[in-house]
Amino acid sequence: MTNFNFSPPKTFRNSIYCGDRPAENFRLKTILLLSGLGRITQTDDPKGVSIPFDHLTIPYQSSSVKTIKHVTQKFANYSRKELDRFFDQAATKNLPLHRNIFGETTNAYGHYINNNQISCFVHIYRTVEQIALCLPIISIINKSGIQNTFSEFRQLIDVKAKSDLSVLKRYTREHLDSTVADQTVIFDFSNSSRPKQNVEVLKRFAEEVVNSTSSSLEIKYKHIDSVIVGFRNQFFHFLPFDKNLSITDISSPDEFLKVCNPIFMNFFGYLYYEFISSELTMWG
């Protein structure tokens, strides 16, 4: 089994932004990963490969800047000293959750770099699922105050939500920052071997299509979770007499996901940013 690891930029080695001081600072390491800083290494490739994207920017961009400022400016309302203190003191809080998210994110990037797109998707899905309940409640505490938390959170689950992902679905549509939620993103399959087929697959899960061509589909960020969950349910579950995504419907899943995965990771990256920002407000 491939062993993926994260290596921060050498210029960070004498800073808390190395992610190794304290050694269990998984929260900070995930932020560095999603910012496109550092490299993914493997047992048989200790030099590793640079992380290709900055997924904390909407829309995501190719990663190019390798400075601490690139991280700190994403939390513009806080000084460098305040951020240092937060990442240091919060390192052991919610440790199991952030350890798992870091491990899943590291594997997602590792498999993407190695062009194992189905494996990459599995780890993206698992990160979204892990954050599906904790993000809404901590974000509502941050935005509404503790006195309003229970009533607002109850509204998310009083619609006969069948799972934590149903709670996340309502959260992204009613509580996510509208400047991000209503932004659109284009899934461009023009370089794939079957662009029309890939567009038709995506249409199966898109709640609201903003624009479409024979090789691309445009949707809003707040609807990306429906695509992630819909693809997972129909591709990985092949149930009799149910909606399924067969190999004749999608002849090259890896090719399809190579376009989708960076966008899915961008969606998760913003959710994780919202989560950390809420923690920062409460504990910073």
Least confident of 4-18, 103-117, 230-244: 4-18
The pLDDT of residue 139 is 74
What percentage of the chain reaches a pLDDT higher than 90? 51
Q: How confident is the model at residue 251 (pLDDT cuts 50, 70, 90)?
A: very high
The pLDDT of residue 141 is 67
d(CA 50, CA 87): 23
Using CA atoms, how far residue 266 sits from 57, 105, 106, in Å, is 8, 12, 14
The pLDDT of residue 1 is 47
Average pLDDT over residues 145-159: 54
Average pLDDT over residues 261-272: 96
Helix (H) or strand (E) holding 131, with range, is helix 117-131
The pLDDT of residue 153 is 52
The pLDDT of residue 84 is 85
Tokens of 81: 């000293």
Q: What is the pLDDT of residues 39-64, one digit of tens each?
A: 999 988 888 999 999 999 999 999 87
d(CA 249, CA 98): 36
The pLDDT of residue 64 is 78
The pLDDT of residue 260 is above 70: yes
Vertex 262, ends 127 and 96: CA angle to 5°?
20
Average pLDDT over residues 227-234: 92
Q: What is the pLDDT of residues 174-199, one digit of tens each?
A: 878 889 999 999 999 999 999 999 99
| Whole-number average pLDDT of the chain | 85
Contacts of 158 (CB under 8 A, 6+ apart): none
Tokens of 147: 């006195």
Average pLDDT over residues 112-121: 96
Average pLDDT over residues 9-28: 69
Tokens of 74: 């994403």
Average pLDDT over residues 109-117: 96
d(CA 84, CA 96): 21
The pLDDT of residue 225 is above 80: yes
Average pLDDT over residues 125-151: 71
DSSP secondary structure letter of residue 235? H
d(CA 86, CA 275): 14
- Is the alpha carbon torsion for 221, 95, 66, 76 positive or negative? positive
Query: What ranges do the domains of the chain cover?
Result: 4-114, 134-273
| Whether this model's pTM surpasses 0.85 | yes
Using CA atoms, how far residue 168 sits from 24, 96, 130, 137, 268, in Å, is 28, 20, 11, 10, 12
